[in-house]
Amino acid sequence: EFLCFSLGRSSFSPTSTTTPIKGAMSTASASRFFLSSSRRLAGSSLVRNGNRLNNPAQSLLLDLNQRRWMTSYPPHEVVGMPSLSPTMEAGTIAKWNKSEGEEFIAGDILCEVETDKATVDFEAQDDGVIAKILADAGPAEIQCGEPICITVEELADAGAFKDYVVEASAAPTPEPAAATPPPATPEPVAAPAPAVATPPPVAAAPAPTAEGGRVVASPLAHKLAKELGHGPISALHITGSGPNGRVIAADVREYIPPAATEAPAAAVVTEAAAPAAATPPSPPIPGDGYTDYPLSPAALEIASQLAHSKQNVPHYYLTVDITLDSLLDLRSTLNGSLGKEEAGISVNDLLIKAAASAMKAVPSANASWMESSVRVYDTVDVNVVVGSGDALYAPVVRNVGGRGLKSISDEVNAAVSAIDEAEEGVGPSGEAFGPMGTFTIMNLGMYGIKSCAPIIREPQACALALGAIENRIVPNDDPDSEEIYKQVTMVTATLSCDHRVVDGAVGAQWL
């Protein structure tokens, strides 16, 4: 029936009379259109106006509507920003490979699209001509489905779109957009009413973006929430404006934390929750051939952060063996001058200080990826990973480059003592716990591990892992010695780097 309508016939019956429709396509144009639409139906999933369509007939109907809405323009197609990956919500056009009035064939690259993970080529599916470019190349973010260009089949038709504006092609969009607010408006507004009487449900009532108990958000939104200091998106209760209520980066940028007027209510909730926080973790749950061990909220949050970082940050690793003989001699000298009561400088303290000193020589490693820029920090704040399991923490030592070894050692020891003295189910308190530094160090030597490739903690760009200290036999480099080999004390250090911030040469120079 779609094809028959395009040809200007009143019905598909072979015995019926044919009545041309005013403004309808010619037979040749309709045939080319139907063939072009059939090719596009080969994909199992299409995107129109930001919505993914799995029904080919629905897609064909939209294509048909696009073809016959305005008789003042020649037959054309409004091309939207494509969804080039399963998680892509928006992208930017890095470069147009075709200009207005230029012909292309199937397989030609129309433009290069940058997503939050990679740069992907957008290939043409049919032959045609670029009649009008609606979205210029640049850093502006374009949502999937938003118009980026107009294509026609004949070169002679391209001139008709010289003064074409985006509003004309986006006219059909408001109807789907207007359909989304009704479900979001009544529920969230009505929910706070009972929350006035009972404070705890206030935080749990608004969750319009949850699907099956999980808040759906783009990777960029998750990362932006952490960079702005809001914490995990699941705790913010943001109403998403993306497709199907998905939280996008713009929602996070517009998010305003609760006002100070809510402080009294929050204090009540905190006081009520304090006894509950001191309760021990839930007991293990035995099953048929297995046992489930419930995790604490802190452990779940760490797991979520590490999983997101591993997926989002392009890691690469550099490893080097370090000779510690001179460092051990320095440690003995410093501890001897401090006296037996105050002696406490460890090899780990010396390596923390060495890492900060290396940052002075290579400051570009003390940086963070900020999406559109790289932020280089003036001071080196080191997160030192201690503990394991539910008791895994990374207290921060501020301004390591400007402090002495004894001060660094005292702060690390104080953080470890706070963890040991913390009650079960309650995390340690203090200024060292909570803030994110600019660099992370972990030492697994106590477990006999030779080397480890650590996961970078966003938004940091580097993380260093140290292995066990061991005696090794190496070639003797002393020209005056008669011995061919000698024994030295060594440790293996592995540096994980974010390739967006620190390339291989910079990471090697730092290490």
User: pLDDT tens-digit profile of 458-486?
Assistant: 889 999 999 999 999 999 988 888 889 99
User: What angle is formed at CA 326 by the lines to CA 322 and CA 329, rounded to 5 degrees?
Assistant: 135
Residue position matching structure tokens 């897609």 = 59
Beta-carbon contacts of residue 362 (< 8 Å; ≥ 6 apart) = 506, 509, 510
Give the containing element (helix H, strand E) for 336: helix 325-338
Q: Minimal CA–CA distance to 21: which of 38, 4, 33?
A: 4
Would you say 251 and 241 are in contact if contact means Cβ atoms under 8 Å apart? yes
From first CA to last CA, the distance across the chain in angstroms is 69
Burial classification of residue 2, based on how many CB atoms lie within 10 Å of its CB (0-12 exposed, 13-18 middle, 19 or more buried): middle
Q: Which amino acid type is present at position 510?
A: W
- Residue pair 30/6 in contact (Cβ under 8 Å)? The answer is yes
Amino acid at 474: V
pLDDT at res. 427:
63
- Measuring CA to CA, how many Å separate 499 from each of 1, 118, 244, 496? 54, 13, 33, 9
Tell me, what's the pLDDT at 303?
85
Tokens (6 digits) for 74: 């020649």
**pLDDT given at position 389:** 67
Average pLDDT, rounded, for the chain: 74
Q: What residues act catalytically? A: 499, 503
For 396, other C-beta atoms within 10 Å of its C-beta total: 21
Beta bridge partners of 210: 215
382-385/439-443 β-pairing: parallel
pLDDT digits (tens, 9 = 90+) for 101-145: 999 998 899 998 887 667 788 888 888 999 999 998 887 888 998
What phi and psi, each to the nearest 5 degrees, are found at residue 116? -75, -5
Listed as ranges, residues in the chain with pLDDT below 50 are: 1-28, 31, 33-35, 37-71, 168-213, 259-279
pLDDT of residue 491: 95
